[in-house]
């Protein structure tokens, strides 16, 4: 165990700049200059600056804005941190409704927002523990994005810092507001079965995020409840092999495909292009159902151009409810449910129909 680790493990108080100075072997004045990013601090030797930053990271030091606050220890400021490199400000981006919901509810609650993307200098720092730790300048923080660095989030849990993740998480102690994908996905399969489909495939991305795992669980649940054979039901893809997959499915007599929709849209884009190249009509030749609203140019099916059937993810309401939950945690409200799943809204669309009867050969 390093000296810094021992300091962190044994210490009962918040680390101070004097602790960093002792561990890094420099003066407290140098620590202050480096951590504040002053020209004098940047002029110090690179090795010295790195020792200070490493010590601050290992000790878990963050500038303490509480010391300069009013007695309420509140700024009426909420952080919003995305693990993407930029914020989803394009209305066609699948995460845009989350941002809109957060902004609406924060304004309604009289809260200001601080937006974090890790670092404007380097996209790779979006998952840097030191970058995540900077959110403590706010009263609490909202996080979203499919992939989460476990260590800095674990430290936030241990330290009792109020935060809420937008999207279900598996990590112990992480408060979240997510979408209830399992029953919604099972219901989509039930709808296809009710329309007469018995040979169904599920196309998903290779990603193992909780949202993807929940969708797959729901599809398998719906298939089992309908008495369908689940062997070979799930097909992971990056979109590049969609033509081969589609050709094989058609040869097997598959009449319907369920597709996972994510922020990348790779599975849906790949299948849509393959269906178009094959000259197929949806739902005339093949029924399609999308687990999550398709946005932008992906919002219409190839062939007839109908709106996709499936369900919509309550992104906007997730953002709003996450703000409400975060404020409850900041206020220390007793009995607050810290893990919430919101129902997904079924979308009728126009890409599910009864399968065509097989052609008779004379």
pLDDT at 16: 85
pLDDT at 198: 95
pLDDT tens, 124-172? Answer: 444 556 667 778 888 999 998 876 777 778 888 888 889 999 999 988 8
Q: Three-state SS for 287?
A: strand
122 pLDDT above the threshold of 50: no
pLDDT at 349: 92
pLDDT at 356: 83
* CA pseudo-torsion sign 151, 154, 156, 158: negative
| Range with the largest mean pLDDT of 82-96, 161-175, 285-299, 329-343 | 161-175
Residue 74 and residue 72: Cα distance in Å, rounded?
Answer: 5
Nearest CA to 210 among 151, 155, 262, 267? 262
120 pLDDT above the threshold of 50: no
107 pLDDT above the threshold of 60: yes
289 pLDDT above the threshold of 90: yes
pLDDT at 115: 87
Nearest CA to 111 among 120, 119, 102? 102
Q: Which two tokens stand for residue 342?
A: 């919101």
pLDDT tens, 44-78? Answer: 888 898 898 888 888 877 665 444 343 345 678 99
Q: Which domains, and CATH codes, for the chain?
A: 3-59 (no CATH), 74-179+316-343 (3.40.50.2300), 181-313 (3.40.50.2300)
- 347 pLDDT band, cuts 50/70/90, is very high
pLDDT at 119: 45
346 pLDDT above the threshold of 80: yes
| Residue that wins the pLDDT comparison between 138 and 4 | 138
Nearest CA to 313 among 259, 261, 268? 261
Buried b (16+ CB within 10 A) or exposed e, 65-83: eeeeeeeeeebebbbbbbb
Average pLDDT, the chain: 83
- 193 pLDDT band, cuts 50/70/90, is very high
pLDDT tens, 205-216? Answer: 888 889 999 999
pLDDT at 90: 63
Contact between residue 39 and residue 28 where contact means Cβ atoms under 8 Å apart: no
294 pLDDT above the threshold of 70: no
200 pLDDT above the threshold of 90: yes
108 pLDDT above the threshold of 50: yes
- 187 pLDDT band, cuts 50/70/90, is very high
pLDDT at 129: 60
Rounding to the nearest 10 degrees, give the CA dihedral for residues 263, 197, 232, 167. 30
pLDDT tens, 11-29? Answer: 456 788 889 999 999 998 8
Residue 21 and residue 14: Cα distance in Å, rounded?
Answer: 15
């Amino acid at each position: 165990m390093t000296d810094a680790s021992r300091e962190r493990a044994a210490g009962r108080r918040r680390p101070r700049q004097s602790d960093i100075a002792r561990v890094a072997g420099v003066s407290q004045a140098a620590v202050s200059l480096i951590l504040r990013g002053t020209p004098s601090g940047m002029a110090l030797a690179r090795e010295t600056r790195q020792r200070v930053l490493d010590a601050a990271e290992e000790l878990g030091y963050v500038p303490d804005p509480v010391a300069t606050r009013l007695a309420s220890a509140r700024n009426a400021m909420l952080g919003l941190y995305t693990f993407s490199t930029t914020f989803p400000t394009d209305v066609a981006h699948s995460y845009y409704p989350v941002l809109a919901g957060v902004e609406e509810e924060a304004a309604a609650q009289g809260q200001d927002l601080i937006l974090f993307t890790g670092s404007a200098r380097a996209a790779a720092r979006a998952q840097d523990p030191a970058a995540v730790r900077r959110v403590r300048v706010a009263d609490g923080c909202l996080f979203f994005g499919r992939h989460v660095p476990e260590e800095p989030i674990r430290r936030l849990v241990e330290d009792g810092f109020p935060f809420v993740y937008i999207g279900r998480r598996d990590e112990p102690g992480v408060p979240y507001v997510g979408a209830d994908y399992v029953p919604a996905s099972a219901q989509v399969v039930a709808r296809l079965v009710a329309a007469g489909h018995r040979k169904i495939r599920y196309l998903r991305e290779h990603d193992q995020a909780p949202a993807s795992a929940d969708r797959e669980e729901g599809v398998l649940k719906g298939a089992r409840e309908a008495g369908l054979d689940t062997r070979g039901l799930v097909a992971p893809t990056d979109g590049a092999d969609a033509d081969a997959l589609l050709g094989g499915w058609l040869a097997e007599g598959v009449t319907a495909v369920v597709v996972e929709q994510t922020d990348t849209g790779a599975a849906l884009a790949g299948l849509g292009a393959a269906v178009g190249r094959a000259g197929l009509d949806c739902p005339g030749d093949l029924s399609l159902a999308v687990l999550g609203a398709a946005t932008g140019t992906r919002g219409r099916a190839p062939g007839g151009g109908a709106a996709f059937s499936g369900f919509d993810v309550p992104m906007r309401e997730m953002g709003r409810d996450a703000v409400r939950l975060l404020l409850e945690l900041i206020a220390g409200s007793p009995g607050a449910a810290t893990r919430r799943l919101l129902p997904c809204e079924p979308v009728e669309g126009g890409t599910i129909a009864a399968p065509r009867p097989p052609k008779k050969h004379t």
